Amino acid sequence: MQTGMHTDTERCARAVRSKDARFDGWFFTAVLTTRIYCRPSCPVVPPKPENMTFLPSAAACQQAGFRACKRCRPDTSPGSPEWNQRADLTARAMRLIADGVVDREGVPGLAARLGYSTRQVERQLLAELGAGPLALARAQRAQTARLLIETTPLPMAEVAFAAGFSSIRAFNDTVREVYALSPSELRARAPKRPLTGTTPGALSLRLPFRTPLNPDNLFGHLAATAVPGVEEWRDGAYRRTLRLPYGHGIVALTPGSDHIACRLTLSDLRDLTVAISRCRRLLDLDADPAAIDDQLRADALLAPLVDKAPGRRVPRTVDEAEFAVRAVLGQQVSTAAARTHAARLVAAHGDTVDDPGGGLTHLFPAAAALAAVDPETLAMPRTRRTTFTTLVSHLADGSLNLGVECDRAETRARLLALPGFGPWTADVIAMRALGDPDAFLPTDLGIRRAAGELGLPSTPAALTARAAAWRPWRAYAVQYLWATDSHPINFLPV
């Protein structure tokens, strides 16, 4: 079992005294005298050390009888970087809970996806996080409810069910317990600003992150590789369609100095929690840039790149299967050609959507739809057709799972066993779809060119050996190496 930062009381106390926002989401401070819990950066005067205890999750605080601070709003902290970095049972469970699996399938569904018994999952989460899966999902529902209460004019009954509560009573009781305010009091206290409910299913919110965040390669990559009809860059925002459990959505994401502005339009508000989780994962917003950059700076040849533009994130995806298909379409062709191939598939096989605010027209086709495509209609070499059809058939029948719960090492091995899948394709999927922070691309031409210019070894074997010192953050080293090129993926669109 992993030991979380909350067990190091001296380090936690120092973070609280210095109001260090880098540790928001890593742990929570529960104040024994007031029965309130806060984020480390809470602006109030820090309590005496003997009156503080430290817990690993908001759910653990709530389960222990503490309520959220009204000043620092700890329930809106960035997520712990551990859940994206780690690949063990707890991390995989947390990624699934964030994706709304407990609300949709219950704890048995969560356990089944993980391949463990319900009892094993509950015991592991309780031991490490101080709360079981139901309590963790409940804390997430409370946060979603607060967001809807404060940013939409929806009736409270609709808020309750959209947030995932099974009854109005459970909704009222949870909100009062967590925030020490009734739902109507929360709405009355919210800032007086125009509500975003004029368009059905639309709302605006802020996605927090740990600074620094360099938006250049993050949004530059997404915009430069955008598939027409599914993605676009418009009015300073990256926009795309989302395929969600209960319906579909459109999101617009705009970079800011301390948050990402997120404008969501959903066909079913029950998808709100999932949509937020996937947008955070797309932009790698729960990363810990201080830890990542400090380790990469230890390499004298990487240090100037990190110092020049710190806080690079890994551009990821909102749909793992979609990215895998696009990775195959992009094999040995230019970015423009890959976009053209993907756009043809979208126009022919994607579900249509309405987008009054822009130029989005389709959802990316589901694996089942792509599995039914006649290979002879695909404008690509025969060997790549085989790669494509094999991949989509495995995705469609469930024999290949790329979801947030998958075992990364095992999934990479399964990808490599497919025809046409070499290390580059498997590793780029591991990096951007599976979210592996240590995925590395030593055979990538851009990486080898950058390595040669910097004086790093340029052969794949020698570069891999040198990159061992960058672990477990080699995927971030890839971003810094790619950024030495003048390719459009490295520049924020204008």
Beta-carbon count within 10 A of 195 CB:
15
Q: What is the pTM of this model?
A: 0.91
**Is the model's pLDDT at 201 over the cut of 80?**
no
Return the residue matching tokens 């340029």: 458
How high is the mean pLDDT of the chain?
A: 93
Among residues 286, 307, 337, the one where a domain terminates is 286
In a domain, 72, yes or no: yes
The model's pLDDT over 32-66, given as tens digits with 9 standing for 90+, comes to: 999 999 999 999 999 999 999 999 999 999 999 99
CA gap 177, 184 in Å, rounded = 14
pLDDT at position 422 over 90: yes
CATH number assigned to the domain comprising residue 219 = 3.30.310.20
Please say if the pLDDT value at position 192 is more than 80.
no
Q: Say what the pLDDT of residue 403 is.
A: 93
Mind telling me the catalytic residues? 38, 444
Please say if the pLDDT value at position 329 is more than 50: yes
Residue 1: the pLDDT is 41
Residue at 218 is within a domain = yes
Domain with 71, as residue range(s), is: 5-80
On whether residue 471 sits in a domain, the answer given is no
Please state the domain count of the chain. 2
Q: Where among 64, 80, 96 does a domain terminate? A: 80
More confident residue, 356 or 477: 477
Residue 310 located in a structural domain: no
The residue from 59, 80, 101 where one domain ends is 80
What pLDDT does residue 37 have? Answer: 96
Q: What is the pLDDT of residues 358-416, one digit of tens each?
A: 999 999 999 999 999 998 888 888 999 999 999 999 999 999 999 999 999 999 999 99
- Using CA atoms, how far apart are residues 42 and 28, in angstroms rounded to an integer? 10
The position carrying tokens 């990402």 is 260
Burial class (CB in 10 A: 0-12, 13-18, 19+), 5: middle
CATH number for 45: 3.40.10.10
Q: Is 275 part of any domain?
A: yes
| CB-based contact 42:12 (threshold 8 Å) | no
- Going by pLDDT thresholds of 50, 70 and 90, the confidence category of residue 75 is confident
Question: Any long-range contacts for 276-280 (C-beta under 8 Å, 24+ apart)?
Answer: 276/144, 276/205, 276/207, 277/98, 277/99, 277/100, 278/99, 278/242, 278/318, 278/319, 279/207, 279/251, 279/253, 279/318, 280/79, 280/207
Sort 53 into a burial class: Cβ within 10 Å, 0-12 / 13-18 / 19+.
middle
Residue 244 lies in a domain: yes
Q: Are residues 37 and 16 in contact, defined by beta-carbon separation less than 8 angstroms?
A: no
Q: What pLDDT is recorded for position 51?
A: 95
Write the burial class of residue 269 (CB in 10 Å: 0-12 exposed, 13-18 middle, 19+ buried).
buried
pLDDT computed for residue 477 by the predictor: 98
pLDDT confidence bin for 199, thresholds 50/70/90: low
pLDDT in tens, 278-315: 999 999 999 999 999 999 999 999 999 999 999 999 99
Tell me the C-alpha distance between 46 and 291, whole Å: 25
At 81, the pLDDT band (50, 70, 90 cuts) reads confident
Q: Residue 24: is its pLDDT beyond 50?
A: yes
In a domain, 327, yes or no: no
192, part of any domain: no
pLDDT higher than threshold 60 for residue 194: no
Residue range 86-137, pLDDT digits in tens: 889 999 999 999 999 999 999 999 999 999 999 999 999 999 889 999 999 9
Measured in whole angstroms, the distance separating CA 206 from the mean position of its chain's CA atoms is 14
Residue 349: burial class (beta carbons within 10 Å; 0-12, 13-18, 19+): middle
| Omega before residue 47 within 30° of 0, cis | no
Q: Residue 196 has what pLDDT? A: 46
Assess contact for 371 and 400: CB atoms under 8 A.
no
